[in-house]
Structure 1
Amino acid sequence: MRRILAAIAAVLFVLATPAHATAPPGPPEPQGLPGDLTSTEVSFRGDGNLELRGSVISAAGAPDGRPGVVLVHGAGTGTRREKLLAEAVAFARQGLSVLVYDKRSVGYSLFERSYPQLAEDALAAVGTLRRQPGVDPAKVGIWGLSEGGWVAPIAAARSSDIAFVILVGANALEPLRQQAWAVAAGLRKAGVGGSLVDRAEPNLYRVIADGGLFPEPYHDPAPVLAKVRQPVLGIWGVHDLLTPPRETPPILAEALEDGGNRRYAFRFFAGADHAAHLTPDGGVTRQPELAPGYAELVGTWVGEATSGRAPEAQVTGPAPVQASDTFGVPPTAWWESAPVQAVALVLLLVAFGGYPVAALVRKVRRRPAVTPVRAARLVSAGGLLAALGGFAYLFYVIMTGGKLSVPGPMAGDRPIIWLALQAVAAVTVAATAVTAARWRRAATRGERVRLGLLVAGGVVFAPWALYWGLLLP
């Protein structure tokens, strides 16, 4: 069943995930590296003995005994080191040696990933940076962005070789809850309301997770954070639209303090987005420049943390903007599980598609035509359109909602496509009632079978459409 669901999702997403024996080779050095910096190419073995490649970037003529930091990417398969070049350059100019590496693609995809595995990759990178000339091995820490905010604490909890932890756009909530909120928040920012956001979107995420197509959905960061003993610097942009910036910091602080760690400092940057880059439009567009003072904060705080002077329980900066609260995304009950949903969809397709197929077979065999029932045609066509169109549209929405793409033309706070699907669903239910009355008066056994199959499909369709919000305002 999981393979079937994965195949369907892969077709809908139009994705292809490459697999490599090693990470793809990087360029001789990061492109666009300023002349005041140097770059040393390195390679190391991550989890499963996978070869990973990266660059160690330092200021030219940097003194010995300098601190170092390993950068851990956010979500994405095989993300190249160049994506974090702005951070690497900025931190190197603050006196750090920065190791940034190409992220793995083996064992990592849209449907598969392991945070502990990524943490092992990061630990291997830390070991490599600790051995670099001029780097003080006792002053090497780890920096994690977004998904890296779940990975970096795992690595820090596993090894005392890590001297400090920096988290940017990190999340203290479960990944499934965070992602469902991010897409819903993106839709609401685009002006969407109603059952599409309140019912259909979170339900689809629950079913996807139940089908094994959302990796690490219920990872709980709190127990991991409680094991982190190193100083922690948390950074969020005020306009973070991917991590709930108001809810996350208090949860993260509570988890650290539960473990007895009060050596944390949280900073919010005005005019900044999820990655603490400047944003001119409230987080919709990311500019290449880091928020003013971000790199300087990292340089200063690392100096304090590695000299035993890390601030305690410090929170500074403007209040973050979070328009809506996150919401629970619990595991599905048996009746709404991925296998049951898949079976229901197949039954609907058979029930609604059987009516025109049977008519076509009669025509091919040149059997006497049966007087068509208009309501039955509406049930057949409407049911197929609502079922297939509804799922296709929902998948489109979750793939674009978090990117703040408006899901088609709008009528008030409802996408016209969703309104049309809702109208079709309502017509299908009404036509089912009419068809049921005609089924009772059917003159032949064949007609009773054809109409009965349609009515059965319509009976299943009604609660199915309610579950997915097609029959709700």
Structure 2
Amino acid sequence: MRRWLAVLGLVLILGTIGSLAGPRWHPELIQDQVESQTRETIIGSDVRTDPVGTYATASEDFEVDLGGVSVPARLTYPVDAGPDRPGILMMHGAGTGRATSFADQARELASAGLYVLVPAKRMDTYTVRNRNYVQMAADYMVSFDVLADWPGVDSGRTGIYGESEGAYIATVAGAAYDQVDFVVLVSAPVVQPRQQAAFAADVYLRNTGAPGALLRAIPRAVGMNIPGGGFEYADFDASPYQQRLDVPVLMVYGTDDASMPVVQGAVVMRDDLAVAGNDEFTVRYYDGANHGIRSNGDLAPGFTRDLARWTQGLPQTASAVPQVAGAEPEQRYAAAPVASPRWYADGDWVMYTLLGSLGLLVLGPALWAGARIAQRAREPIMPASLARYAAATALAALAALVMFVAYLTQVAQYALNYLRNDLVVVGGYFLVLGTGVLAAGVLYASLERTHRARAVGVWRGPGRLVWWLVHLGAVSLLIIAAYWGVFPSFV
């Protein structure tokens, strides 16, 4: 019984250390709401516009010179639609970037009489670690000018469509370049990327039924500076640009988009536009549509119809009623600033502590082997029982961390695919906790065995050093595991 109580105490100590070692996660309930005035998304106004399907469409591929770098582009346009038609430039979200993207949207919009240009994303300056939304806006504006000057396009009715991450770029362009006549923001994050990532992680984990203890990993992962640097764009603030937007804005969300703050985004945009004195703001929510405004693989019903009408009907449709329409959006928690971890769990220190712990586990056996070779001794430098316990302690600590990473990977797959499996998510977490308890038990057994050891004469100096290296590495790994939530805590 004493041994079990001791192991329980060790587990709780590790859990408490893990809980107190970093920021906690307490998202606040969202306060401001937007109310849909009607479920019908049709854009009001008496202005006459061409509906989707009016014209046959064609496309033309060409290169756009960005100054030393060229990107492919595809223009989709209406056939025999006459002069002075609206133009719209499409800006990609993260993970997309080809000139052939937005094919469905481009074809349907062109059939209503719009010229739609999709330039490929410039990739030589766009990486996982580094991206500059202001410079990306400047690059896209080269293609915008090509579109505005295209025969048949009315340069006074040419605007931008920005999807997901592209909404940041569209906002910058709309605020910084006078030639932009309107902005369409589709699945827009609006808040800073770091805040949006934490919000999305929270929603995804809650939707999978993940244990509450797992949520504390959100600020520790999302709030930290990534080892190796970069990712400065994670703190990009679009509000200064949103507060300078003085052109009509259409904002579109799908109600099944769990990754975006669909209510807060509209509220923040409304308030920021008010700073600019801009009330030409329209919001549409499409029932059952995902991040790409699709349902069952197809564009949400009415999406391109409404987009085509709003665009063609400007300026009359810029303030047409209802301002907010569609299915009622749902957002429980607010996307908010994310606390940063303390120095020892931030930036390069994350790698230093992990690699240092693993290094100690490797260095111990390496010194043991080196000592055996150098001394050419037949007798062991450490009692066999202590050697076995030391090895078991190292392997158990490593197993606890590996088990947690494997579990987190599986939960992430469920979350990103909108799946739920309580047996895996909840049962897997108890398995992780069990592995952590086992590792703590092995550590205690090793310490107890060492304390009772009487073969001091056989346990030579190198053996003591090996023992300390292995156990320090194992304890360090267990503390790291505790930091990420492997051990339960009442704090």
What TM-score results when the alignment is normalised by the length of structure 1? 0.81
Q: Distance in 1 between matches of 2:124 and 2:322?
A: 39
Distance 1:366 1:398, change over 3 A: farther
Distance 1:88 1:259, change over 3 A: same
**Alpha-carbon offset, residue 272 of structure 1:** 1.2
Match status 1:260 vs 2:273? no
The answer on whether the counterparts of 2:74 and 2:100 sit within 8 Å (CA) in structure 1 is no
Distance 1:61 1:210, change over 3 A: same
The answer on whether the counterparts of 2:93 and 2:163 sit within 8 Å (CA) in structure 1 is yes
Q: Which residue in 2 is equivalent to 1:411?
A: 423
The answer on whether the counterparts of 2:203 and 2:258 sit within 8 Å (CA) in structure 1 is yes
1:216 aligned counterpart, secondary structure: helix
Match status 1:229 vs 2:246? yes
Q: Which residue in 2 is equivalent to 1:420?
A: 431
Which amino acid letter does the alignment assign opposite residue 205 of structure 1?
V
Distance 1:342 1:395, change over 3 A: farther
Question: Could you tell me which of 74, 95, 106 is aligned with 1:55?
Answer: 74
Match status 1:110 vs 2:128? yes
Match status 1:45 vs 2:54? no
1:267 aligned counterpart, secondary structure: strand
The answer on whether the counterparts of 2:253 and 2:291 sit within 8 Å (CA) in structure 1 is yes
1:360-384 per-position Cα deviation (integer Å, ceiling 9, x unaligned): 5566666423323354233210122
Q: Which residue in 1 is equivalent to 2:355?
A: 346
Q: Which residue in 2 is equivalent to 1:384?
A: 398
Q: Distance in 2 between matches of 1:272 and 1:99?
A: 24
Q: Distance in 2 between matches of 1:228 and 1:210?
A: 36
Percent same amino acid at aligned positions?
26
Match status 1:149 vs 2:161? no
1:372 aligned counterpart, secondary structure: helix
Which amino acid letter does the alignment assign opposite residue 423 of structure 1?
G
Match status 1:447 vs 2:463? yes
Q: Distance in 1 between matches of 2:318 and 2:170?
A: 22
Distance 1:248 1:367, change over 3 A: farther
Q: Distance in 2 between matches of 1:264 and 1:159?
A: 19
Match status 1:334 vs 2:349? no
Q: Report which stretch shifted further, 437-446 or 255-264.
A: 437-446
Q: Distance in 2 between matches of 1:306 and 1:66?
A: 14
Question: Could you tell me which of 160, 163, 175 is aligned with 2:178?
Answer: 160
The answer on whether the counterparts of 2:226 and 2:348 sit within 8 Å (CA) in structure 1 is no
1:269-310 per-position Cα deviation (integer Å, ceiling 9, x unaligned): 11211121124xxxxxxx1x2212111211221123246854
**Equivalent residue runs for 1:81-92 within 5 Å:** 81-92=99-110
1:62-110 per-position Cα deviation (integer Å, ceiling 9, x unaligned): 1101110001111026x22222101111111221100012222212122
The answer on whether the counterparts of 2:162 and 2:169 sit within 8 Å (CA) in structure 1 is yes
Which amino acid letter does the alignment assign opposite residue 45 of structure 1?
D
Which amino acid letter does the alignment assign opposite residue 57 of structure 2?
L
Q: Which residue in 2 is equivalent to 1:371?
A: 384
The answer on whether the counterparts of 1:269 and 1:318 sit within 8 Å (CA) in structure 2 is yes
Question: Could you tell me which of 429, 453, 462 is aligned with 2:440?
Answer: 429
Match status 1:247 vs 2:247? no
Distance 1:387 1:358, change over 3 A: farther
Q: Distance in 2 between matches of 1:91 and 1:393?
A: 44
Q: Which residue in 1 is equivalent to 2:211?
A: 193
Q: Report which stretch shifted further, 246-255 or 144-153.
A: 246-255
1:415-458 per-position Cα deviation (integer Å, ceiling 9, x unaligned): 52x44343333333333334334445662333322222233234
Q: Report which stretch shifted further, 34-43 or 118-127.
A: 34-43
1:124 aligned counterpart, secondary structure: helix
Q: Distance in 2 between matches of 1:148 and 1:178?
A: 14
Q: Distance in 2 between matches of 1:179 and 1:208?
A: 14
Structure 2 residues without counterparts, runs of 5 or longer: 1-53
Which amino acid letter does the alignment assign opposite residue 371 of structure 1?
A
1:420 aligned counterpart, secondary structure: helix
Distance 1:420 1:354, change over 3 A: farther
Which amino acid letter does the alignment assign opposite residue 372 of structure 1?
S
Q: Distance in 1 between matches of 2:448 and 2:425?
A: 37
Which amino acid letter does the alignment assign opposite residue 467 of structure 1?
Y
Q: Distance in 1 between matches of 2:365 and 2:332?
A: 48
Structure 1 residues without counterparts, runs of 5 or longer: 1-33, 280-286
Distance 1:456 1:252, change over 3 A: same
Distance 1:106 1:147, change over 3 A: same
Q: Report which stretch shifted further, 103-112 or 341-350.
A: 103-112
Q: Which residue in 2 is equivalent to 1:24?
A: none
Distance 1:338 1:419, change over 3 A: farther
Q: Distance in 1 between matches of 2:328 and 2:419?
A: 26
Q: Report which stretch shifted further, 291-300 or 428-437.
A: 428-437
What CA RMSD, in Å, does the superposition of the two structures yield over aligned residues? 2.9
**Alpha-carbon offset, residue 400 of structure 1:** 6.8
Q: Distance in 1 between matches of 2:58 and 2:304?
A: 18
1:141-191 per-position Cα deviation (integer Å, ceiling 9, x unaligned): 000111111110001111010000001100121112212332342333233
The answer on whether the counterparts of 2:365 and 2:466 sit within 8 Å (CA) in structure 1 is no
The answer on whether the counterparts of 1:436 and 1:455 sit within 8 Å (CA) in structure 2 is no
What TM-score results when the alignment is normalised by the length of structure 2? 0.79
